[in-house]
Homo-oligomer: A and B are copies of this chain.
Amino acid sequence: MTALGTIEASELVARRPVGHSLEAAFYTGREFFDLDIAAIFAKHWIFVATEAELPEPGDYLTTTLGDYSIIVLRDDEENIRSFHNVCRHRGARILDQQRGSVGNIVCGYHKWTYGTDGALRHAPSQPPGFDPGCFGLKPVHARSVAGLVFVCLADEPPRDFADVSARIEPYLAPHRLREAKVAAQVDLVEQGNWKLVMENNRECYHCDGHPELLRTFFPTYGYTDANLPARLRPAHERYLRVDAELRAICDDSGLPYRLIEELDTRATGFRIQRDPLDLAGESFTADGKAACRRPLGDVPTPRLGHLSLHLQPNSWFHVVSDHAVTFSALPIAPDRTLLRTTWLVAPDAVEGVDYDLETLLKIWTATNEQDAHLVARAQQGIGSPAYEPGPYAPTEYQVEAFCNWYIGRLREHLR
């Protein structure tokens, strides 16, 4: 009855019209949900945590990627490691809390005991021929880039991640995220496909719906001189002025700021740039002033705008002089996505003394909730058989880049 009833996924991938939103089956069907997990989330580097969440050896967190449950932990040698959260005996989930701290990794069912390196250290009552070496926890690739932890479920992760890491690390390094402290983490379940969450994130065509964010975030984001609406002209002139100031500051202090935009031309698609903020220009707050008295890292001045990093498939980051915010969109079901948002501050910042938590969280919490409402409406509308893909406006070019990247990866996977 629906398109997918008679048309193969590969056919839908093949015929995707450039410049338009995707066909409905990409957003609504179980088939594409499974395909997205297999082709995108199980094959690419996925941001899952910050090192700040795992300060001590034995600290762990668990997370879910599709049907996969994984453990991310700091081992006894202080390295970040990741394992499948599945006992090698009869398959029980080993760690069932979202985070905690362990000496060994012990399955609660029959007490099979693994070290923080994943090796099976003890399995009771086994016959003589039993070889513990064959039953270590299955490893998952894990890397930290300047304190941001990525995992890859594939046997052979995309090779270009090293290159991307090397290029983004200089932007991030001055903020010393590795030593930062988690101020808060908020999980929001959005009623829409993960790609709708991403598409929403990749344009400011809808930014009128974000009054709090627009206090300091320039609504001209994503527009060019050629397509800038008249009503945004004053904001754009203000932007040009403070952007020049920001570039001068960065040049003086050796901070990288230039835009790199390789969103749909590589496996690890990304975009990074330091951009000014409006008003006081320091932070995501109502007046643009810092929300935290302690600077985050080695910053020459608070007036640094925001360093923004977008990564395919599902994460984005904003770093300002006094805090950082990380976002990841994790698929739960064809029509449900977990948006996890984490706020980091300087390691010595004290809540209630150096920062007020409500002020720190306010802008992005409000913005996320507004976006969740829009995403839900998109999901609802696309569910109608009357939906047909419509044209992206020029200012939505990053949405299109996301779709280009996504379709490209699917083509690669289906080949």
Give chain A's interface residues, CB within 8 Å of chain B: 1-2, 5, 21, 24, 34-35, 37-38, 42, 66-69, 84-94, 96, 108-111, 123-127, 130, 135, 138, 199, 205-206, 208-209, 223, 227, 229, 374, 377-378, 380-395
Bound CA–CA A199/B89 (angstroms): 13
B93 with A380: CB separation less than 8 A? yes
Bound CA–CA A87/B379 (angstroms): 12
B69 with A110: CB separation less than 8 A? no
Bound CA–CA A94/B66 (angstroms): 30
**How many copies of the polypeptide does the oligomer hold?**
3
A93 with B34: CB separation less than 8 A? no
B374 with A205: CB separation less than 8 A? no
A-B contact pairs, 5 of them (CB 8 A): A86-B384, A110-B206, A125-B223, A125-B394, A138-B386
Name the 8 nearest CB pairs between A and B, nearest first: A84-B386, A93-B381, A93-B380, A1-B34, A91-B382, A91-B387, A89-B390, A91-B381
Bound CA–CA A393/B87 (angstroms): 14
Q: Which residues of B contact A385 (CB under 8 A)?
A: 42, 66-68
Q: Which of B91, B96, B377, B388 contacts A109 (CB 8 A)?
A: B377
A383 with B92: CB separation less than 8 A? no
A386 with B199: CB separation less than 8 A? no
Bound CA–CA A131/B123 (angstroms): 67
Q: Which residues of B contact A123 (CB under 8 A)?
A: 393
With A21-B90, A86-B387 given, name 20 new contacts (CB 8 A). A1-B34, A1-B38, A21-B91, A24-B91, A68-B386, A69-B381, A84-B386, A85-B384, A86-B386, A87-B381, A89-B390, A89-B391, A90-B378, A91-B388, A109-B374, A110-B393, A124-B229, A125-B393, A125-B394, A130-B391
Task: Report the minimal beta-carbon distance from A23 to chain B, rounded to whole angstroms.
Answer: 10
Q: Which of B38, B66, B69 contacts A380 (CB 8 A)?
A: B69
Bound CA–CA A85/B381 (angstroms): 7
B229 with A125: CB separation less than 8 A? yes
Task: Report the minimal beta-carbon distance from A173 to chain B, rounded to whole angstroms.
Answer: 34
Q: Which residues of B contact A138 (CB under 8 A)?
A: 386
The residue in chain B whose Cβ has the minimal distance to the Cβ of A373 is: B108
Q: Which residues of B contact A86 (CB under 8 A)?
A: 381-382, 384, 386-387
Q: Which residues of B contact A124 (CB under 8 A)?
A: 205, 229, 393
Q: Which of B66, B208, B223, B390 contacts A88 (CB 8 A)?
A: B390
Bound CA–CA A382/B223 (angstroms): 48
Task: Report the minimal beta-carbon distance from A223 to chain B, rounded to whole angstroms.
Answer: 8
The residue in chain B whose Cβ has the minimal distance to the Cβ of A231 is: B124
B393 with A126: CB separation less than 8 A? yes
